[in-house]
Amino acid sequence: MKLTVDFSALEQSARRMGDFVPDFSLELNNPAEELVLDDELSSTAGLEVSIDDLDFNQGLLSYRGRQVLLFIPDHGSQVEQVLCGQTDGRRFHIADCRTLEKMRAQNRFERYKATYNVSGEFEIYGTAAYSNESIGGHAQLHVCKNCLSYINYKGYKTDFVQVGRNSIFNDFDIGEFLSTYSTLFRNMPKREALVDMGGYSENWDSISRDLRASKNWCCEQCGLDLKNNPGLLHAHHINGVKRDNRRENLKALCIDCHRKQPKHDYMRVTSTQMLRIHALRKEQNRLPNNNWDDVFKLADTSVNGLLHHYRKKQIKRPEVGYELLDSQGCIVELELAWPSSRRGIVQDDANVRQLSDTGWSIITVGEAIRKMNGS
């Protein structure tokens, strides 16, 4: 029997009461089937998908709760040049951009495969131009610029001239991108798929714990006290070298501040973790809102593109992590809020329905992205 009851609001409220470990579990899917699915999606070959199986609600691309990229494996007669790096191949997609919209209108969408492999390599094939032989192999592909513009990734559309946009395009990292929007999705590649765990010292666990304890379990960047939530405090390698465990190269950071460090493309943060971080920041009076820099530092990275857009349009600075009561008296946290005009942005449709009787205008991150693009 399929359950359609949404427990997200109940779980959200329960977590606000403190550390929360449910004493029940619901097996919604076949574990063996899910494992096969993850193996296929984490491969460079990807998984053939139908347009009907994809979810575009967040403005990004999702398949069965997993954020994915889409690419066309068939490179036709150009395949040899692409494999040799002599020419760029077809670009992969990360968002519901105008290119995908056009493809759907032309009924060409079935040519795509889905993947969340972070290597940047894709299995492609085609036909040799002169011999007419079928050939294939691995190639590095580039991200679609229309996708970058659609989600305003890192301010791609609003904050940069062409040189800056080229830098974002050329330096695009799949792991970093997936991490940026991880809170919007139920599932994400396991951390082992994003980072070489063998890169850490064998005694890393004890080194990490000693460092965090020496900092009294407080984040050195935002000052958040995490004594009662030690799992939300990480040990960060400042220079990025995982075996350089000198104290001067280590810094205790909460999971939110940690993932916002440069080149931290392996970080996966869940919506539940961010809710807890925001709740603790509110309790400890660590939610400054004095300028736009404060907003960018505190907001979830999934709304970064929206913030760049709002600042550029000179829209009033929003509040981060604003708590609103629904009609039953339950607390719902808004990603961004403008209390004076009773407007807010949340992560999913369940929260929109939950707040439908509050008199506020509430939309999801995906709907905000669509509005940003005038659609």
Per DSSP, the residues of 319-349 read EEEEEEE-TTS-EEEEEEEEGGGTEEEESSH
Q: Given this model, what pLDDT does residue 5 score?
A: 46
Model confidence over 75-119: pLDDT tens digits? 999 999 999 988 899 999 999 999 998 888 887 777 899 999 988
Considering the domain architecture, whether residues 201 and 162 belong to the same structural domain is answered as: no
Considering the domain architecture, whether residues 243 and 157 belong to the same structural domain is answered as: no
Say if 320 falls within a structural domain: no
Q: Given this model, what pLDDT does residue 287 score?
A: 86
CB 195 within 8 A of CB 168: no
Considering the domain architecture, whether residues 57 and 131 belong to the same structural domain is answered as: yes
Asked if pLDDT for residue 13 goes beyond 70, the answer is: no
Considering the domain architecture, whether residues 167 and 252 belong to the same structural domain is answered as: no
C-alpha span between 351 and 275 (Å, rounded): 13
Q: Given this model, what pLDDT does residue 191 score?
A: 54
- Cα 253 to chain center, whole Å? 19
Q: From 250, 265, 280, give the residue that closes a domain.
A: 265
Q: Given this model, what pLDDT does residue 23 score?
A: 40
Containing structural domain, residue 78 = 34-192
Q: From 144, 168, 192, give the residue that closes a domain.
A: 192
Model confidence over 291-323: pLDDT tens digits? 999 999 999 999 999 999 999 999 999 999 999
Asked if pLDDT for residue 56 goes beyond 80, the answer is: yes
C-alpha span between 350 and 266 (Å, rounded): 28
The model's confidence at residue 190, banded by pLDDT at 50, 70 and 90, is low
Say if 356 falls within a structural domain: no
Q: Given this model, what pLDDT does residue 188 score?
A: 62
Q: From 230, 246, 265, give the residue that closes a domain.
A: 265
Say if 83 falls within a structural domain: yes
Considering the domain architecture, whether residues 44 and 155 belong to the same structural domain is answered as: yes
Considering the domain architecture, whether residues 53 and 174 belong to the same structural domain is answered as: yes
Considering the domain architecture, whether residues 105 and 206 belong to the same structural domain is answered as: no
CB 142 within 8 A of CB 91: yes
In the chain, which residue ranges form alpha helices assigned H by DSSP?
Answer: 8-15, 31-41, 79-83, 98-105, 145-151, 162-170, 174-180, 191-194, 204-214, 255-259, 271-283, 292-298, 304-312, 349-354, 365-372
% the chain with pLDDT above 70: 87
The model's confidence at residue 3, banded by pLDDT at 50, 70 and 90, is very low
Say if 27 falls within a structural domain: no
Considering the domain architecture, whether residues 186 and 214 belong to the same structural domain is answered as: no
The model's confidence at residue 214, banded by pLDDT at 50, 70 and 90, is very high
Say if 84 falls within a structural domain: yes
The model's confidence at residue 264, banded by pLDDT at 50, 70 and 90, is low
Say if 286 falls within a structural domain: no
Tracing tokens 């530092």 back to the chain, one arrives at 297
Q: Which residues contact 242 (CB under 8 A, 6 or more apart)?
A: 199, 200, 201, 204
Number of domains within the chain: 2
Label residue 224 exposed, middle or buried (CB < 10 Å: 0-12, 13-18, 19+): buried
